[in-house]
Amino acid sequence: MATYTNKIAATTVGPAAANAPVRFDAMGANAGISLAKLSILAALLLALAACSNSATNGGQSTTSGFTIPIGGTVTGKDASSTGTKDVKAGTTDDGTAVPQDDATGAGTDDATTPQDDAAPGTDDADQPQDDSEQPQNDAAADPPAVCATSDEDQDGVCACADPQNTTADCDCDDNNPNFATNCPACATTPGIAGCLCKGGAKPVGCYDGDPNWLGKGSCVSGQHLCQGGFWSVCQGETFPEPEKCDGKDNDCDGETDEGVKSTCGTCDLTCNEQKIGADGAIKWNLNSENSTGLGLTPQGDVTLDTSQISLKLKFIWLSNSSENTVSKVDCKTAKEVGRYKVCNNPSRTSVDLDGNVYASCRGDGRVAKIMAEKKDCIDKNGNGVIDTATDSNGDGNIQPNEMNPGGEGADECVAYLVQPLGQASSYPGSRGAAVDKFNNVYIGYWNEAKVAYLESKTGNTLKTVNWQCPTYGLVVDQKGYLWGQGNGCDALMMYSPTDDKWFKASSYSQNGISAYGINVDGAGRIWVGGSLARYNPADGSWLKCNIGGAGIATTNNNMVYIAKDGGGIGKVDGETCKDLGTVNTGGSPHGVAVDFDGFVWGVNLGGNSVDKIDPGQPGQQIGALVTTRPIGQSPYTYSDMTGYTLNYFTAPKGQFTTVFFGGIGSNPVTTNAPKQVWQSLSAEADLPEGTNLRIRMRAANNSNDLELAKWSEPVDFPPEVFPYDLSKAGIIGNLLQVEVQLLTKDKKLTPALKSLSAKSKLM
């Protein structure tokens, strides 16, 4: 904020009054009178007037710079007087010895009586004025003073016979009673306060404050006015005042309402706004707890960086085909933490952007969605708890008595069970599953030779693609194209959702390809198992590695892992097809996956277990077996069972989560939290064509309640725009958690988030 200087209120000064003219001599020859000096002058005038009012007779008093006609007379007093007037010649005031009057007559004083005049009440002829040694009054009044030269302005100061005379009693302007000993340049500088002016003269601008204030905010100049023939002091000028929230620059520093607004930038002190960003009070602080897949640009903006994908999606989901269940294993601890009854003969599992999983079943064609986090599960029976499978004894295995005792779908973390085609599919039913960047899922069917597209929240079938090919696996690439391992029609299939077109991209038999599983790599090339091979959509070419296997997993460092059934898990260089070794697990792995720590997982169809394997260094030999975890019966899956492919290749995204604080805590007496209603959400971002932000929110009054609160539905920007209105959504709580996803259709296009802010109002 600006600093202030207090100013004395302006006082109008007009012509000298008949008995009390204001003298301006103290200003200096070329200066305008300051208000502070006027205050001093006024005080002096009052003191002098008080002295004059105590006199008994007419006369005048002369002080340096001021002439004050005071009326009545003034008598001289002897310097040694005790205050008693002379009674007769030769008598002192104090009544002691009687010095003689002036012995030699008028004009001289006796040495011993320098005070007394020649006769009581008279002045010496040569001394018309009171003796300088006589501050006391004489017994009789002195006669009026008479100037030897003119005193046209009647100010009691005589004009100078000699213009060069600079003595104190010489009137420097005998036409203006306001000046005598110090006369400004009235003739050459119009508007000087106290100078003579002619009636009708135009006002002259003036400003007594700091020139840096003038013209800013409330600070404006004033005017010298011609009043009664004299220029007035500066009138109408204004000076800085303390800033107040009124839309004005009160302190004249060029800023409006600075330091007095709410954090929302308004005068509403119930409003609070917080901002995160490179140029905000709170800076970006990306870490494994609040972000994934993000980095900072040289400018300090948040952008996609797939090398920074975190470990938030920490589960691998395995379909136990022969017991109609799905196991959830924690990739960090290698412990089974959940097992859920779903549909008949589950096979493919595909993890979505939130870590939840879709499980498709070969036996009846149904699809189950299972929530990864207990806080996202639904209390279906209304008993106040989430009834779900739990490793209650902590042994790392889910026993039958630790599962929900109900039938399929009874576990309250199974969000739904749906039949995408409207009726049960004939065996082997659904044999492909792949999530897209919209978090919806494609389910491929063998006998029906169709693909169903399901909406994530409800499982409703949005459309069915009749691409006339029995499907044995699905994957979505970076451009959003759906690829199908269609060995039922001897073709690699491709579907474009933007124009709803499908076609056979390449014939297996014509290219000598034996296909089984399917995946996509970081360059958008399609890999198939059976006899490991890579298809390049850019030119339609195939690279054949001639390494046998089933399921395939690709990595962001261009390594490829293949499940060799009874032969273990193999590692292959994705550019050269170089064989980088095999880990023999002994469990007959049929599927393979990579987690977000980079570990490789083999799904042992024959061994009823899952293996965790050290991948080794990129381009180097595969590492060793880390651990093996028993799970359900006949685990049979080889799709994106960890979400790695989706997050790295299908939908490259970064995610940032933060909590905004409403600014007001709970009442310390009542412990009641105030009603903080969130008003709007804003962001500054560079979003090239094909990129967007996806945001969801939740609010609560404390961190514990926030963890249990439900998220809002995700909102995409574009098509929505900022600021985004939250006032009608009823988002209430002292804490607002915001999750932002940065999405792109092409990894070459990178959105950049510059800032994120949220505004709330205390109701």
Whole-Å CA distances, 313 to 299, 448, 682? 29, 33, 28
The pLDDT of residue 24 is 63
pLDDT at 58 over 50: no
Residue type for position 207: Y
The pLDDT of residue 350 is 97
The pLDDT of residue 147 is 67
The pLDDT of residue 72 is 30
Residue type for position 399: Q
Is the pLDDT higher at 306 or at 603? 603
357-361: strand order across its sheet:
346-351, 357-361, 367-370, 414-418
Least confident of 217-231, 263-277, 528-542, 583-597: 263-277
The answer to whether residues 679 and 265 touch, using CB atoms and an 8 Å cutoff, is no
pLDDT per position as a tens digit, 192-210: 999 999 988 999 999 999 9
How many residues are given for the chain?
763
Average pLDDT over residues 207-220: 92
pLDDT band at 23 (very low <50, low <70, confident <90, very high): low
Average pLDDT over residues 400-423: 94
pLDDT band at 150 (very low <50, low <70, confident <90, very high): confident
pLDDT at 512 over 50: yes
pLDDT at 376 over 80: yes
CB atoms within 10 A of CB 504: 17
pLDDT at 288 over 80: no
Question: Which pTM does this prediction carry?
Answer: 0.61
The answer to whether residues 513 and 531 touch, using CB atoms and an 8 Å cutoff, is yes
pLDDT at 631 over 70: yes
Q: How many whole angstroms separate alpha carbon 16 and alpha carbon 29?
A: 19
The pLDDT of residue 423 is 87
The pLDDT of residue 149 is 67
pLDDT at 166 over 60: no
Whole-Å CA distances, 4 to 33, 238, 242, 252, 254? 22, 13, 7, 9, 13
Is the pLDDT higher at 413 or at 46? 413
- In this structure, the strands spanning 291-292 and 609-613 are unpaired
Q: How many whole angstroms separate alpha carbon 119 and alpha carbon 140?
A: 10
The pLDDT of residue 658 is 92
Least confident of 394-408, 415-429, 468-482, 603-617: 415-429
The pLDDT of residue 163 is 56
pLDDT at 627 over 60: yes
Q: Name all contacts of 336-339 with Cβ < 8 Å and 24+ positions apart.
A: 336/391, 336/396, 336/397, 336/398, 336/629, 336/630, 336/631, 337/390, 337/391, 337/398, 338/388, 338/389, 338/390, 338/391, 338/398, 338/413, 339/389, 339/398, 339/402, 339/403, 339/631, 339/632
pLDDT at 358 over 90: yes
Is the pLDDT higher at 282 or at 167? 282
The pLDDT of residue 167 is 56
Average pLDDT over residues 519-544: 95
CA–chain centroid gap for 231, Å, is: 54
pLDDT at 252 over 70: yes
pLDDT at 604 over 90: yes
pLDDT at 759 over 70: yes
Residues whose CB is less than 8 angstroms from the CB of residue 155 and which lie 6 or more positions away in sequence, other chains included: 16, 21, 23, 67, 171, 177, 180
pLDDT at 59 over 60: no
Is the pLDDT higher at 700 or at 158? 700
pLDDT at 354 over 50: yes
The radius of gyration of the chain's CA atoms, rounded to the nearest angstrom, is 50
The pLDDT of residue 162 is 63
Is the pLDDT higher at 552 or at 130? 552
Is the pLDDT higher at 325 or at 90? 325
Q: Find which of 3-7, 115-119, 147-151, 711-715 is predicted with most confidence, using mean pLDDT.
A: 711-715
The pLDDT of residue 43 is 35
- Provide the 3-class DSSP secondary structure of residue 235: strand
pLDDT at 18 over 70: no
Is the pLDDT higher at 499 or at 272? 499
The pLDDT of residue 51 is 31
Residues whose CB is less than 8 angstroms from the CB of residue 744 and which lie 6 or more positions away in sequence, other chains included: 304, 652, 653, 690, 691, 750, 751
pLDDT band at 710 (very low <50, low <70, confident <90, very high): confident
The mean pLDDT of the chain is 80
Q: How many whole angstroms separate alpha carbon 760 and alpha carbon 712?
A: 17
Domains of the chain as residue ranges with CATH: 275-299+654-762 (no CATH), 317-466 (2.130.10.10)
pLDDT at 21 over 60: no
441-445: strand order across its sheet:
430-435, 441-445, 451-454, 461-465
pLDDT at 54 over 60: no
Whole-Å CA distances, 501 to 315, 429, 470? 34, 23, 17
Q: How many whole angstroms separate alpha carbon 441 and alpha carbon 454?
A: 5
pLDDT at 52 over 70: no
Average pLDDT over residues 35-46: 34
The pLDDT of residue 675 is 77
pLDDT band at 85 (very low <50, low <70, confident <90, very high): very low
Query: In the chain, pLDDT over 70 holds for what percent of residues?
Result: 76
Query: In the chain, pLDDT over 90 holds for what percent of residues?
Result: 52
Candidates 679, 689, 687; CA nearest to 741 is 687
The pLDDT of residue 4 is 26
